[in-house]
A and B are shown apart, each in its own frame.
Chain A
Amino acid sequence: MNTDVAIAGVGMHPWGKWGRSFVTYGVHAARAALADAGVDWQDVGLIVGGETVRNGYGGYVAGATFAQALGWNGAKVATSYAACATGAQALDTARSRILAGQTDVALVVGADTTPKGFLAPNAGERWDDPDWLRFRLMGMTNPGYFALYARRRMDLYGATQADFAAVKVKNAKHGLSNPNARYRKEVSAEDVLNSAVVSDPLHLLDICATSDGGAAVLLTSLDYARKHGIADPVRIKAISTVTPVFPQTVMDMPNFSTDSSAVVPAQDRTFKESLGDAAYAEAGIGPEDVSVAEVYDLSTALELDWIEDLSLCKRGEAEHLLRAGDTTIGGRIPVNPSGGLACFGEAVPAQALAQVCELTWQLRGQAEGRQVEGARIGITANQGLFGHGSSVIVAR
C-alpha cells in the first residue's frame, strides 16, 4: 500500500516581531499555501490548526479560529498541541485522514505571537508545576538546559565555543536571501564570541530568539494531486511523532531530574535518536539517502547534537562535518539551508511546518539564493516539552 501524500502547496508569513494577532499570520500563510497549490479554500475538506497557548481561547481552538477567519466552508476541523512538534502532529492528523479516505484535501496551519525575552512561566504560585518550580528553586532557564548539552559536547567530544560560533556564521549566511527569515545579516565568529555569555558556554548569539510567524502546508491525496495537474509533487514519506521509552535518562526541559535506570536499564537509543530512527524506518530509507536536513537549532550546539541524533554522522563527529564545510550549502549534507532558528527565531506552533515548507522549496528547486542542488530527500527534526518531538521525511 502506498502511504504517500502530496504536498500540494506551502506558504509562510515572514517571521519577525510584527505585533499583530497570530490569526493574521496564519491566514496569510494559509492563503499563500492555497495559491501555491492552485486550490480553492472551498475545496478544503479538513483544516488542522497548531494550537498556540499564549493567545487565549482563540489559540486553544486554532483550527476553528483559522477556519472562521478564512470563512466557514463546512470543512472538518482539528487542533493539535505538541509543544515544538505541534506542526508535525497537525500534519500527521491531516495525512491520516487523507490516507483513511476521509478527505482529499487538508490544510495545516500554525502561527504564533510570542513575548520578548526569556520564556517565563505564567504568573501565580504553582508548587506542583515543575515549569514554575525550576525557576523558583533553581533559577533554571531554557538557555540553561541548552548550555548543559553544549558543555557536554565540549567536555566529551572536544567541541569549542568557536565551533558553536561557526554554526551561527553558517546559518546566518544560509538565511541571507530567505524572504521569510527574520534576521538576514551576516554574522562573524567574533560577533558571536563577543556577545554576552548567557549561560556558560553559550553566548547570546548562540541562542535563538522567539518570533511571530505563520506557516501552512496543503496536503492532498496523490490521486487528487494528479487530477489537479500537480505533476511530480513533493511527497511526505514519513512523520515520526514517537514518545520516549522509559527510562528517559537524558535531562530534559523543564524537568528537575531524569528517570532512574536502576530497575529498568536505559535504552540503547535516546529519545531524540528514536525520532529519526522511526522516520527512517517508516520511509524505508537510511541516513545515507538524505540530501538536506532542517533541524531544531534552539542553540548552535543543538544543531550539532541533531546531526548525530539523525545518524548523519557518528556520535561526537558533528564538529568534523561542520569544520569540513559538509553542513554548508554546497557541502555533502547541508543542514538548515533556510537559516534555521538562528535566522528565524522560534514561533512554536509554526516552526515544524516551516521546516517542511523549506524542504518542499528545496526539493522543487525553488529555494532561491539558498538552493541545495539536486536535493531529492529531506529530513526535519525537533523536540519539544513533555515527551514531544518529530521527524518528517519528504522526497521527490
Chain B
Amino acid sequence: MTATPAIEGWFTTGAAPALLGSRCTDCGTVYFPRELVFCKNPACSGETFEEYAFSRTGKVWSYTDAQYQPPPPYVPVADPYVPFALAAVELEEGLVVLGQVADGYGVADLKVGTPVELVVETLYTDDTGDRTIWRWKPVGRSSEPGRSSAVETPGGAG
C-alpha cells in the first residue's frame, strides 16, 4: 500500500510539492487545472502548451469551512464527520486556487492575506492505500495550529 494522488498529474509530491498546470507557448498564460486544448486569452489562438509548476506559496484570498458532511462524490473520512476548512489562495502568477486547509488548522488560523504554503496530505483511503491531495498550510507567525493569525494586509484579486 502506497500513497498516490487522488487525481493524476495535478500536483507533485515530495519535500517541496507544487501544483502542476500548463503554460501557453504562444502568449505565456498559465492555467490550473491545466489547459491543453485552447488558450483562453481572447487575443491568442495558441493550442500548444508546456507543463508549468506553480509557486508553492501564496496569500489567502478568502476562506471557509464545511461544517456539514458534503454530499457524494465527497468521500467521508471519519464517522462521525469532522469538519474541515477550505481556502482560496492567490498565487504570484495572478490566479486564485481553492484547496482544503492542512490538517490541524481551521478558520481561526486564517485571515484575508495570511501567507500559506502548499502541502500534500491524505484526502481519503481506498483499496490502493492513501489517496493524497494538495492543501494550504498557514506559515509564519500563525503556524501553530489553533492559534489565531495576526492580521495581514488585505489583498487579492477581487
Contacts and interface: CB of A to CB of B under 8 A. Distances in A.
A binds B: yes
Interface residues of A, number: 52
B18 interface: no
A134 B99 CA distance: 9
Nearest to B61: A251
B150 interface: no
A120 to B, nearest CB: 4
Interface stretch (A15-23, A161-169, A196-204, A375-383): A196-204
Nearest to B29: A263
Contacts of A1: none
A311 to B, nearest CB: 16
A231 interface: no
Given A256-B98, A257-B33, A260-B31, A148 B157 contact: no
Contact of A148 (B31, B43, B64, B100): B64
A374 B109 CA distance: 49
A257 B95 contact: yes
B158 interface: yes
Contact of B32 (A117, A197, A246, A256): A256
A393 B43 CA distance: 32
Of the four ranges (under 10, 10 to 19, 20 to 34, 35 or more), the interface on chain B belongs to: 35 or more
A250 B64 contact: no
Contacts of B93: 260, 262
A141 B6 contact: no
Interface in A17-31: none
A296 interface: no
B62 A151 contact: yes
A139 B157 contact: no
B94 A121 contact: no
B20 interface: no
Contacts, number: 157
Contact of A140 (B27, B70, B95, B123): B70
A3 to B, nearest CB: 27
Query: Interface residues of B: mostly helix, strand, loop or mixed?
Result: loop
Nearest to A199: B64
Contacts of A197: 67
Interface in A231-285: 245-247, 249-251, 255-264, 266, 270
A262 B94 contact: yes
Contact of B74 (A136, A149, A202, A245): A136
A198 B107 CA distance: 13
Interface string B97-125: 11110000001000111000000000100
A149 B61 CA distance: 10
Contacts of A255: 98
Contacts of B27: 263-264
Interface in A369-395: none
B68 A152 contact: no
B97 A257 contact: yes
5 contacts: A135-B72, A155-B112, A257-B95, A262-B29, A266-B157
Interface of A: 117-118, 120-121, 123, 125, 127, 130, 132-141, 144, 147-152, 155-156, 196-202, 245-247, 249-251, 255-264, 266, 270
